[in-house]
Structure 1
Amino acid sequence: MSFDLNHKLWIAANKEIGQLIKKQNRLKKIEPPEEKAISFKIFSELYVLYVELVNKLCFIYQHTFQVQKRTVVRTLVENATQQLMKLKEELKSMELNEYIYIDKVLISRKLTPRDLMIWRSPQFLYRRPLDIQNILAENKLYMNDEEKEISAAKDWEKVSEAIELIQAHERARRARVYKSNIKYNKKQYLEVQQRKKVNYRFTFKPNQAMSIPVKRTIFNADFIKTDEGCRDLRMIKPQIICFQIIEEEQMKLNEIREKAASVIQSWWRAYKTKKIYKIKKQFKREMLGFKKVRKLKRPNQFKNSVLEMYKNEQLKAKLDEDFLNLINDERTRLLQLRSPWMMEDISDHIRAWFQEFYEKTMNFHAYPDPIKKGTVLVVIDETMTPLEFQETLNKKPMTKEEKKKQQDKKKAEKKKLRDKIKKEKIKEAKRRKKLKDAGIIDVGYVLASSKPIENIEKTIKQFSIDWRNIDEYLNKNHAPIKDWVIADELAKIHQELRELVDEYMRVEYELLRQALAKDQKVPYKPQKVKRAKAKKGKKKKKAAITDERPLSELYEELKDAGIIETISHKDFDEFIADFNFLADDSRDEDNLTTVGPAKADIKMVIEESMLGMSEFNITKPKSILLIGPLNSGKKLLCNIIASEIDAVFINLSPEKIFQYADNMNKFLALVMKVAKAFQPTILYIEEAHRVFIKKITPDIADINPRLIGSYINKKILKPIKPSDKIILLGTSNTPWAAKGGLKKAFQTTLLIPKCDYGTSFLLWLDLMTENAPDDMESYAYSALAKVLQAYNSGDITNNIAETLNVDRKMRLKSEALDPREFLEHFLSVQDPALFPPDAKLMDKFTKWFGKSNKFEKMRRKFLAAKAAKQKKK
């Protein structure tokens, strides 16, 4: 992307942030709206604004190369995304639903639900350290000279093996050609070979020995197979050939050939004419608006972005390295040139402080202790003034009892202040709870107490101060601002030198006090120095068996055992589904949606969870459980999540780990060490209900499905910190078969909705236009979607793949595709598991989901309370 475009986008984003801050400042002052719908509208408008802002800032951050500015943009992106998630949580708690519908705001801003999709893979991707990337990569990305030589030698061995293989095949091919020519047409072949003369320049001299020994092969075998012998051929008398008969036969043969050619040409011309006529007719109908070619258009925002992203990463790495080199160079230069003068200035300043106190009080102020930052207190005027110090000298020294009383008084005042603040907080919490119970949301308090908003305001204000005299447009080479580097390093050097000077000046201070005591003829007592206590190191835990081994070895061990799996790359566009466009219009009297989510709505919830797996510090659930009927897309979604965040996929399903039953503690320690080292990481459990299954059936008794169940909370979820990019993913098609431990193990539960008409239509449209673009009328897509709406997306995908196999695709030109072929495929299937999920099964899923999902529990509680009130009335 060009520098000019990025600069314009930054100016626009800066302007948007300013407008958003003004709007939020106005909203902070408003009284809590009495109607819940007004609060919902305010939050939904802010949510849409933050979605647009986050998308724009992420794009800018990806294409910002200037190191100091990149830090500013990163802070803005991180805090904007955190505020976005807070707004989403507020909307969810108001909707009492995992899914939110804000169609009215989208319409007013001329947006679609797809525009609310936050995740953008290249912009949010978490970059692993280089050493970890080298272990994961089959070919190392970053190598030293020795590793490069070894890698080049291995590559040359592979190339030489390939060349030898190609040469062997070529020699064999030539031998086969030679043998066949000798066998079937020896005379003609030898004549052709003789005609192929090559001009050689002979340098052979008589009586000269050959430098290369040549083996001459004489072919005297006759490969022509015949029953007649040589004697029979000699005895045959020459026959008289009738030229007339041959001419007649030749003429008949020519006639047959001409007739065949004319038939072929007529059919070819007819085919070409029909094809041209069909194309013209289709073009005419499209031009007049009778018919349009339908195709699912997917937004391809990152076409050819891999190479561009790689170049950007390389440039950023180079600029970061140059920035560090500049810091080191400037630090070295400043230490060489300025450190003696800085030490002299600091010591002169401290001596002046000594002199000031001695002239005004005939005494010296207590030297600040290192634990209180030393003489930095003098610079920031946190020491006593000479007048205050004189008052303390005139006072009588306090007794132990008076000191204790003073300390107790200070403690009582601090406790009183803490209690007062605590009471105010409790009072405020009660007020907000009372408002919330009445259905009123205090919008002003929610925005005023938000730390991300405060950080955004602080960052943008500081940016406007620091960068007001800097023209970014002139810095197209992304060079760092040297003056800031010098100022920062001077401040650090000053802190370091002041600690050193303090030690020397403390000696001078004690000498002055000793001389003063001698003049005043009083006993000299050296001042006690309070230093910061050295932090006691924690007791080292006993090193695990895996700690001594290198990470590459641990990774290879899990990979060889099949625990770490290689998955095919998938993206969110491959999860074809449509959004629910009816939910917002079907609200009840409490402004709650009455229609369930569509299949595409789940993509938005999953993307929010994935934001915590990015390079930014954003809250995320530790574990997610996807439930739904067979072939509903659970495994595909897990595959998409792992692909989009470029995660290491660790499969902890019972059939994979039952072999480690003897030492599960060691195995899980190994898994978690690898997961933390190679994060982002996905820990996957297929059919997770088996881990907490109520009754073990004979078909799964061999793999001991409950093996890992007791370890999930202690050994997997507990070690995962909020900053870790690790998530536990589970799938289940019969969650009710498990005990209550399944709900406790998974923090978030998501039910994949059944296939609706919109999703079914998009599936048929996309897959059919991909496999048979011109062989089915557009009305058939709608008919098939309506008739086969109850089937799951996986069933439809399998139907199209099996019906339109290679053989059927070859016959498409001669035999037109009939929609009834897809119906026949479903009707011919005898497996009950592939039938459409019935209403009772979906009710079972909905009932279990209502008991496990946080917002569904809140909705049920609210409806139960409402029903109880109506019953009383």
Structure 2
Amino acid sequence: MSFDLNHKYWVSTRKEISQLLKKQNRLKKIEPPEKPVSFKIFSELYVLYVELVNKLTFIYHNTFQVQKRAVVRTLVESATQQLMKLKEELKALEISEYVYIDKALIARKLTPRDLVIWRSPQFLYRRPLDVQNILAENTLYMNDEEREEKAAKDWVPMSEAVKLIQAHERARSARVYMANLKYDKKKFMKVYQRKKINYRFTFKPDQAMSIPVKRTMFSADFIKPDESCEDLRRRDDMGDATEDIENLNRLRNNAACKIQTWWRGYRTRKIVKIKKRFKEELYGMKKVRKLKRPNQKENEIQDMYKKEMLKKKLDEDFINLINDERTRLLQVRCPWMMEDISDHIRAWFKEFYDKTENFHPYPPPVKKGTVLVVIDETMNPIDFQQTLGKKPMTKEEKKKQRDKEKQEKKKKKAKLKMIKMKEAKRRKKLRDQGIIDVGYELAASQPIINIEETMQTFAKDWRDIDEYLNKNHDPIVDWVTEEELSKIHQEVRGLVDEYMRVEYELLREALAKDRNEKYKRQKVKYPKEKKKKKKRVPKDMTADRTLESLFQELKDGGIIEDVARKDFDEFIADFNFLSDDTRDEDSLTTLGPAKGDIKMVIQESMLGMGEFDIPKPKSILLIGPLRSGKKLLCQIIASELNAVFMNLSPEKTYKFADDLKYFLHVVLKVAKAFQPTIIYFEEAHRLFWKRVPPEAREIKPKLLGTSINSKILKPLKKQDKIVLIGTSNTPWSAAGGIKKAFQKVLLIPKCDYGTSFLLWLELMTENAPDDMKEHAYSALARVLQAYSSGEITENIRETLNVQRKMRLQTEALDPHEFLECFISKNDPPIFPPEQKIMDKFTKWFGKFNSLQKSRNKFIAQRLAKASKKK
């Protein structure tokens, strides 16, 4: 992205932020609206914040000037936090994990896909350099080509190489033998039935080959005799001296002309067909049915890496600039600064002595010393003169004054608390009636306050700065000088105060001698050092081990697994476009979510795993029927986050049962050091089984069930980029402990028509792009809609194998072949999941998901009221 474009983008985004803030300020003054109006306001604001976050994120990752980047970062983080707040409000109004705001999208001419705010790798959390170096030595995030290159570089034993050569030579001989038999079985059977010569393969190290190895030359003629070529072959084979050369050339020329005629006709027909197809597409008569995936860039990671390196260099230069400027100021300005401070304090002494013939009490360090003099928070000479005639307060009077001040503070706190309680009760009462105080929610939002303050500060500080002229991303040196001067001034003033306090006491002592009064030294109150609470530090059982060795130990034990490079677009699914149009009298959606809606919820849950401080769940449970894409989603999340993938399924952890405490300690230590980290539990219901089947007792499935909440989730902090993800296809077989272990439960919806259509279209055109442009995708999607996405994917892979793709040009694909693959080629036949099972999933989900539980309760109350009216 060019500097000019980024600058224009930033200017336009600033205007949009100012317009958004004006709109919010107007909304802060409105009366609490009804539920439909509140939903409309929040949905419109949500769409605006989605666009704002997308733009600010893009600007942030293309802004290199250090001081400006800090401003944009604050805006991005605050806007994303407000976005998540708005989403929570919409979920509370919708009483569902899935929110449909089609009307707001239509007004902005957007689609549900535009609401996706995940931008990998822009949201990635950057690990420390030493941790990155450890991961770089592993093949954890290599693609297939990089893995092959690394494997090729690895040393291979000589015996393995010899076996490989022998295997290839035997395979080559077998292919030649089968090809010869297919050509002329009788002729070549006689050759291969001859007596075989015994041959023993020998190899001597460091010995050059006596005979150079060449490619295999096939002498067999695979062109069978044809009647049309009899004359040519006969004349070629005659070898007679009286051969007529002219007749031979004439026959050959005629043959060449015929071949050229057929080739030119074929080429012309193909070109005409391509042009006809192009015209039909241009006129809109036919369209190429190919799924287009958005936001795909081949070199996106490389571009991000280059930008990160440039930012790193600019950051280092900025730190060096600060250090150099601080050193220069300490050498050049510090002595004069100390002299100026001391002169100012002496002038303060003189002013009070000239007007009151006394000295103002020296401000103690606990009140920031003589900084009070600078900011005019000390008494003026007139007020100080009035205090001189008063008698000093006794201890009892001081105590009464302190008690009175404490009581006044308590009364103010109690009054504020009562006001807040009344306000909270009022809002709760309105919420129960379906009315939300939009003005209060916006006025009390801290992210909005942060955005307003940041924009005001930017407008004030940058009003005289021309950003367009700074194409080299140089820092503004004057700001660095001012900031360092301020820091040095505060540091130096404390030192000068100590010296001037000595001078102050000498003046007071001399004044006391002149007045023949008793001199009493002023007490100095220093700020108390905050005593650090001694936290109980748990014993580190691996203090003598390096992180690299612990990481390698878990990898060798099969706990840390390699993750293939995948993105959210590989989870092919469509959104629900009908729910918003089918609301009931309470404005609740009556249609369930589509499979594409689950991606939106998961992406929002993963935003807290990125660079910015955004709330996120500590653990997620994905439930759904077999082969519905649960594990694929977990792998996509790990790949998108560039996270370390730890598999703590029972079949992986049962071998660590003897020393479980040590094992969990190592897992948590590595997870925190190498975060972001995904801790994965396959079929998580096994950890909480009500009854363990006899065949599963060997792997001790309930080993970690009791430890998840206390040993893994409890030590995790909010800022830790670690999340537990579990999958389950029979969650009802688990006990109630599964609810405590997983904070968020998500049900993967069944495959709908849109998702099924996209699956058939995408996978079939990927397997055979030239032959699958015109096919009955809609019919396939409608008939086989109930099958899970994994079953459809496997069916396409088996049906469109290499042999079948070779026959596509001569034998068109019949849709019945896919049905036969489900029923005939599998034993037992594969049938779609029954509706009873899906109802079972929905029922269990309604008990364990808080929003769905509230929704079911609300619907039950509504039905009860309706039955009473009847």
Could you state the TM-score of these two structures normalised by the residue count of structure 1? 0.86
In structure 2, what is the equivalent of residue 310 of structure 1? Answer: 305
Match of 1:476 among 471, 475, 483: 471
**Cα deviation 1:366-387 (Å, max 9, x = unaligned):** 2222222121122112222222
Task: Provide closer, same or farther for how the CA distance between residues 712 and 244 of structure 1 changes in structure 2, counting only shifts above 3 A.
Answer: closer
User: Of 581, 594, 600, which residue of structure 2 is paired with 1:604?
Assistant: 600
Task: Name the CA distance, whole Å, in 1 between partners of 2:210 and 2:131.
Answer: 60
Output the CA distance in 2 between the equivalents of 1:869 and 1:833: 47
Q: Which moved more, 1:465-474 or 1:664-673?
A: 664-673
Q: Distance in 2 between matches of 1:626 and 1:734?
A: 11
Matches within 5 A, 1:755-766: 755-766=751-762
User: What amino acid does structure 2 have at the position aligned with 1:551?
Assistant: L
CA distance in 2, matches of 1:88, 1:108: 19
Please, what is the CA RMSD of the aligned residues? 3.2
Note closer, same or farther for the CA distance 1:491–1:787 as it changes in structure 2 (3 Å cut): same
Distance in 2, Cα, partners of 1:136 & 1:410: 59
In structure 2, what is the equivalent of residue 19 of structure 1?
19
Alignment partner, residue 578 of structure 2 = 582
2:72 maps to a residue whose letter is V
Going from structure 1 to structure 2, the CA distance change for 1:431 and 1:158 (only over 3 Å counts) comes to: closer
CA distance in 1, matches of 2:261, 2:241: 27
Q: SS of the counterpart of 2:552?
A: helix
Relative to structure 1, the CA distance from residue 676 to residue 249 in structure 2 (aligned partners, 3 Å threshold; closer, same or farther) is farther
Q: Distance in 2 between matches of 1:550 and 1:776?
A: 54
Q: 2:174 maps to what in 1?
A: none
How far apart, in 1, do the equivalents of 2:826 and 2:300 lie?
46
- Read off the aligned partner of 1:304 and give its amino acid letter: N
Q: 1:702 aligns with which of 681, 692, 698?
A: 698
Structure 2: 5+ residue stretches without partners: 140-148, 169-207, 212-235
Matched, 1:661 2:664: no
Instruction: Report the count of equivalent residues.
Output: 791
1:778 aligned counterpart, secondary structure: coil
Deviation at 1:289, TM superposition (A): 4.1
The amino acid across from 2:652 in the alignment is K
- 1:76 matched residue in structure 2: 75
Contact 1:624/1:748 (CA < 8 Å) preserved in 2?
yes
SS at match of 1:626: strand
Partner of 1:195: none
Q: Give the Å deviation of 1:545.
A: 1.7
How far does residue 270 in structure 1 lie from its aligned partner after superposition?
7.2
Could you say what secondary structure the match of 1:612 adopts?
helix
Q: What is the CA distance between 1:29 and its match in structure 2?
A: 0.3
Among 581, 585, 590, which residue is 1:594 paired with? 590
Greater alpha carbon shift after TM alignment, 593-602 vs 552-561? 552-561
| Contact 1:633 1:794 (8 Å CA) reproduced | yes
2:610 counterpart of 1:614? yes
**Distance change (3 Å), C-alpha of 1:251 and 1:852:** farther
Contact 2:610 2:721 in 1 (8 A): yes
Q: 1:339 aligns with which of 334, 357, 361?
A: 334
Q: 1:681 aligns with which of 677, 680, 685?
A: 677
Q: 2:295 corresponds to which letter in structure 1?
A: N
The residue aligned with 1:369 is 364
Tell me how far apart the structure 2 counterparts of residues 542 and 77 of structure 1 sit (CA, whole Å): 37
Q: Residue 683 of structure 2 contacts residue 726 of structure 2 at CA under 8 Å; is this kept in 1? A: yes
Shift of 1:350: 1.3
Match of 2:404 among 389, 392, 409: 409
Whether the aligned pair in 2 keeps the contact of 1:775 and 1:817 (CA below 8 Å) is: no
Which one is further off, 776-785 or 845-854? 776-785
Q: Distance in 1 between matches of 2:50 and 2:276?
A: 45
Corresponding position: 1:58 with 2:57: yes
CA distance in 1 between counterparts of 2:137 and 2:237 reads: 76
User: Deviation of residue 830 (structure 1)?
Assistant: 4.5
CA deviations 1:45-64 (Å, max 9, x no partner) are 00000000000000000000
Contact 2:289 / 2:773 at 8 angstroms: preserved in 1? no
Match of 2:768 in 1: 772
- The letter for the 1-side match of 2:308 is E
CA–CA separation in structure 2 for the residues paired with 1:649 and 1:133:
15
Equivalent position of 2:103 in the other structure: 104
Give the partner amino acid of 1:111: L
User: Partner residue of 1:534?
Assistant: 529
- 2:734 is matched with 738
1:2 aligns with 2:33: no
One-letter identity of the residue aligned with 2:551? Y
Distance in 1 between the 2:244 and 2:702 partners? 86
Residue 532 of structure 1 and its aligned partner are, at CA, apart by: 2.5
For 1:477 and 1:83, how far apart are their aligned partners in 2? 33
Residue 390 of structure 1: CA displacement?
2.6
Deviation at 1:490, TM superposition (A): 0.1
3-state DSSP class of the match of 1:547?
Answer: coil
Query: Which residue is equivalent to 1:247?
Result: 240
Q: Could you tell which deviates more after superposition, 814-823 or 683-692?
A: 814-823
Deviation at 1:264, TM superposition (A): 7.5
State the SS of the aligned residue for 2:814: coil
TM-superposed CA distance for 1:496, in Å, is 0.7
Taking the aligned partners of 1:216 and 1:766, their CA distance within structure 2 comes to 52
In the alignment, the residues of structure 1 paired with residue 209 and residue 335 of structure 2 have an alpha-carbon distance, to the nearest angstrom, of 91
Question: How many Å separate the matches in 2 of 1:514 and 1:131?
Answer: 61
Give the letter aligned to residue 17 of structure 1: I
Offset from partner CA, 1:598-656 (integer Å, 9 cap, x none): 01111111111111011111111111111100110101111111111111111111111
Question: Is the 2:823–2:829 Cα contact (8 Å) retained in structure 1?
Answer: no
* Corresponding residue for residue 202 of structure 1: none
Using the TM superposition, name which of 552-561 and 62-71 deviates more: 552-561
- Is residue 418 of structure 1 aligned with residue 413 of structure 2? yes
Distance 1:160 1:806, change over 3 A: closer
Deviation at 1:261, TM superposition (A): 8.1
CA contact (8 A) 2:765 2:773 kept: no
Aligned counterpart, 2:849? 853
Aligned partner of 1:361: which letter?
Answer: T
Q: How far 1:867 moved relative to its partner? A: 3.2
Query: Does 1:623 find its partner at 2:619?
Result: yes
C-alpha distance 582-539 of structure 1, shift in aligned 2 (>3 A): closer
TM-score, normalised with respect to structure 2: 0.86
Q: Quick check: 1:776–1:818 contact (8 Å CA) kept in 2?
A: no
C-alpha distance in 1 between matches for 2:607 and 2:327: 41
Give the equivalent residue in structure 1 for 2:218. Answer: none
- Cα distance, 1:594 vs structure 2: 0.5
* Separation of aligned partners in 2, 1:98 and 1:619: 16
- In structure 2, do the counterparts of structure 1 residues 16 and 672 end up closer, same or farther at CA, with 3 Å as the change threshold? same
- Cα distance in 2 for partners of 1:388, 1:868 equals 74
1:325 pairs, out of 296, 320, 328, with 320
CA deviation string 1:568-624 (max 9, x = no partner): 010011111100000000000000001000011111111111110111111111111
Q: Which amino acid aligns with 1:799?
A: N
